[in-house]
Amino acid sequence: MTSAAGVVARALVLAALPTALPTALPASLPSALPWALLVLAAVVLLLVGGIAARRAARRRRAERVRRATEPLRPLLLELVAGEPDEQADAASRLTALAPPVWRSVEPAVVALLSKVRGDSRAEVVGLLEDRGVLARARADLHRRGAVERARAAELVGAAGDATSVPALVELLTADRAGEVRLVAARALGRIGAAEAAAPLLSALREPRGRGGVPPQVLAHALLRLGPAAAGHLTAALVDDSAAVRATACEILGRVGAVGSVAALRERLRGDASPEVRARAATALGRLGMPSALPDLVAASAPPAPGAVRTCAVRALGELGDPRAVPVLAGLLADDDGRVAALAGPALVGLGGPGRTALHEAADPGAPEAAAAPDDAVDAVPDAAAADAPEDAAPGGPLVRARAREALVMAQLREVVPAQRRPSRARAVAPARLVGDGA
Amino acid sequence: MTTVLVADDDSDIRELVAFKLGQAGYDVLAVGDGAAALETARAQEPDLAILDLMMPGLSGLDVCSQLRRDEATAALPVIMLTAKAQEQDVATGFATGADDYVVKPFSPRELVSRVQAVLARTAS
């Protein structure tokens, strides 16, 4: 309201200007100028007044809707969070609402779709189906107006309407409006149908600047498809587009697709794109399959590019296989500072054997230091360490400092959570819980 | 009666959680921002707190770490209720001291089960 008043005040000042201008302006200026300014000021005033009136009308409408829906709130809550019999009763009462009352409560019902899942969402979807809202949205996916198509796509996506997948795929691949394609991608992700994986991956090939959907939206949608899309994603690892291959690597790692390990190892070993190799290394670390160890060890050493090496070192830490200890211990002395800095935390990630190696590197000969596991993988980066400057050579001050830093950081991470719970004295008695909360 | 503090800036979620927990027999204190959550936790001493991660002003993470620093509230069980579902987000939630992590959109019925489980776990 205050800002609207400010705008009106500024417009009034503008409107007053033309009366002062004729005396201030040189006589050579055309005499129509003051009139033009006057008309401009009047137009501005009208616009400001129109905006203010529209806002006020919107506020009044929102208030009217609120008043109309307020008595129905308990019914909505019972629909989504009640016991099964309450849910059924609420659904039948909401289905029977007169059309004008339903129109005012419909936005509140639709809003609940994105907030609940499971049975609660199923109840909301059932109600929207019964009231014909979803049928209308399915039809609206083919409307002429882009806003109507986008709104419909948003609704069928929020409702998880699997029957809309073909229409949404068509919107994603062929709609002339970029915004509609973006909403369609998001909706396909929310529905979670595996058949959406191929069109979502294809959309990654399109250049962003020509109405293409942003890659992060497509990647997020693919992620939401979950392991069901693993087959499509694994097939995409040999796509012509590096962007598609890199995204497929990333998603496979995140959805825990352990069946794709062999294909990911192949990408890590020989993909032409360092980005794809780096993502493959990260994915293999996330998947945690020991069979990836030799490829990750090889990728952690030169001549692999720096980005691939750093991802491989992190992945070795996540893999948790103690056979990587001597490799990572050797990398503490690596020429590449980023690789060397990550080797310490990766050793911490390997648990006891990794920490022992760090103690050994931090303080050679100390009692904590012990021999590495017998079946350790050959220390691939030894050659790199041999060429390192004296400070960064094994046993040098830089390596000792890196090892100490990793140990201190690990201790800090352990100490802080341990200190955050000084006492459980206020914990609730079990009898009270059973009696009150069950 | 077991009291649960619910802090979420989304009134629909607040109302929904309060309704479901009330139905399950809990006494609910519902607030709309982090500062109010902190104040209520200190003043009313609830038995458990459900915190939205992203609230205006103090976030759920901020509230959780402040609760953990204060001796009076350090043992208060906390469940994070949030739309941020990436593994890093979940890890951050637990590192800050949360006892459980529920991702939005959520199932009201499952949330009640989680509340019961966390209360039972922290009581033992």
pLDDT for residue B28:
96
Please give the interface size between A and B, counted as residue pairs whose CB atoms are below 8 Å apart.
Answer: 102
| Exposed / middle / buried, residue A369 (Cβ in 10 Å: 0-12, 13-18, 19+) | middle
What does the alpha-carbon distance between residue A43 and residue B67 come to, in Å, rounded to a whole number?
A: 56
CB A329 within 8 A of CB A307: no
Q: What is the pLDDT of residue A408?
A: 82
> Is the CB of residue B88 less than 8 Å away from at least one CB of chain A?
no
pLDDT in tens, B26-81: 999 999 999 999 999 999 999 999 999 989 889 999 999 999 999 889 999 999 99
Q: How confident is the model at residue A28 (pLDDT cuts 50, 70, 90)?
A: low
B110 touches chain A (CB under 8 A): yes
Find tokens 């493959």 and name the residue. A280
User: Rounded CA gap, A108 and A89, in Å?
Assistant: 18
A191-217 mean pLDDT: 84
Tokens (6 digits) for B81: 């209720």
Give the pLDDT confidence score for residue A2 in this predicted structure. 45
Whether residue A66 has pLDDT greater than 90: no
CA atoms of B117 and B103, how far apart (whole Å) = 16
**pLDDT of A429:** 32
Residue from the list A422, A428, A430 with its beta carbon closest to the beta carbon of B74: A422
- Exposed/middle/buried for A127, CB within 10 Å: 0-12, 13-18, 19+? buried
CA distance B34 to B30: 11
Q: Is the Cβ pair A77, B122 closer than 8 Å?
A: no
* Per-residue pLDDT at A373: 45
* Edge-to-edge order in the sheet of strand B48-52: B27-31, B3-7, B48-52, B78-82, B100-103
- Chain B positions in Cβ-Cβ contact with residue A114 (cut-off 8 Å): 105
Which residue from B minimizes the CA distance to A428? B123
Nearest CB neighbour to B107, from listed A73, A118, A417? A118
- DSSP class of residue B98 equals -
pLDDT tens digits for A83-94?
999 999 999 999
* Alpha-carbon torsion, ordered A15, A20, A22, A23, to 10 deg: 180
The sign of the CA dihedral A334, A339, A344, A346 is: negative
For residue A188, pLDDT beyond 70 = yes
* pLDDT value at A238 more than 90: yes
Residue B101, chain A, CB below 8 Å: the answer is no
The residues, any chain, with a CB within 8 Å of residue A206's CB and separated by 6 or more, are A212, A213
Strand partners of residue B106 = A116
Q: How confident is the model at residue A411 (pLDDT cuts 50, 70, 90)?
A: confident
Q: pLDDT at residue B102 above 70? A: yes
Nearest to A115 among B1, B87, B104 (CB): B104
Q: Please identify among residues 68-107 of chain A the ones whose CB lies closer than 8 Å to any CB of chain B.
A: 73, 77, 80-83
pTM of the model: 0.72
Count of Cβ atoms closer than 10 Å to residue A124 Cβ: 24
Contact A428 B119 (CB under 8 A): yes
Domain architecture of chain B: domains with CATH: 3-123 (3.40.50.2300)
Domain annotation for chain A: domains and CATH numbers: 2-17+32-129 (no CATH), 132-191 (1.25.10.10), 195-311 (1.25.10.10), 320-421 (no CATH)
Q: For residue A110, is pLDDT > 80?
A: yes
Interchain contact, A111 vs B12, CB within 8 Å = yes
Contact by Cβ (8 Å): B84, B53: yes
User: What pLDDT, in 10s, does the model give residues B44-53?
Assistant: 999 999 999 9
pLDDT > 90? residue A50? yes
Q: Do A428 and B115 touch (CB under 8 A)?
A: no
Portion of chain A with pLDDT greater than 90, in percent: 56
**A54-58, A189-193, A328-332, A410-414: which has the minimum mean pLDDT?**
A410-414
Mean pLDDT of A217-233: 92
Q: According to the model, what pLDDT value does residue A264 have?
A: 97
Higher confidence at residue B11 or residue A427?
Answer: B11
Confidence of residue A430 (pLDDT cuts 50, 70, 90): very low
| Both structure tokens of A91 | 């659904």
What tokens does A236 get? 């995409």
For the stretch A364-409, pLDDT in tens is 765 554 444 444 444 444 434 444 455 556 667 788 788 888 888 8
Looking only at the bridges linking them, the beta strands covering B3-7 and B100-103 are unpaired
Side-chain-facing half-sphere of A124: CA atoms under 13 Å: 27
Distance from the Cα of residue A303 to its chain's centroid: 33
Backbone angles phi, psi at A16, to 5 degrees: -75, -20
Tokens coding A93: 């009462």
Q: How far off is chain A from B57, nearest CA to CA, in Å?
A: 22
Helix (H) or strand (E) holding B37: helix B34-44
State percent of chain A over pLDDT 70.
79
Q: What is the mean pLDDT of residues A329-358?
A: 88
Extract the tokens encoding A249.
Answer: 């690597």
3-class DSSP state of A41:
helix
Confidence of residue A277 (pLDDT cuts 50, 70, 90): very high
Q: A12 pLDDT exceeds 60?
A: no
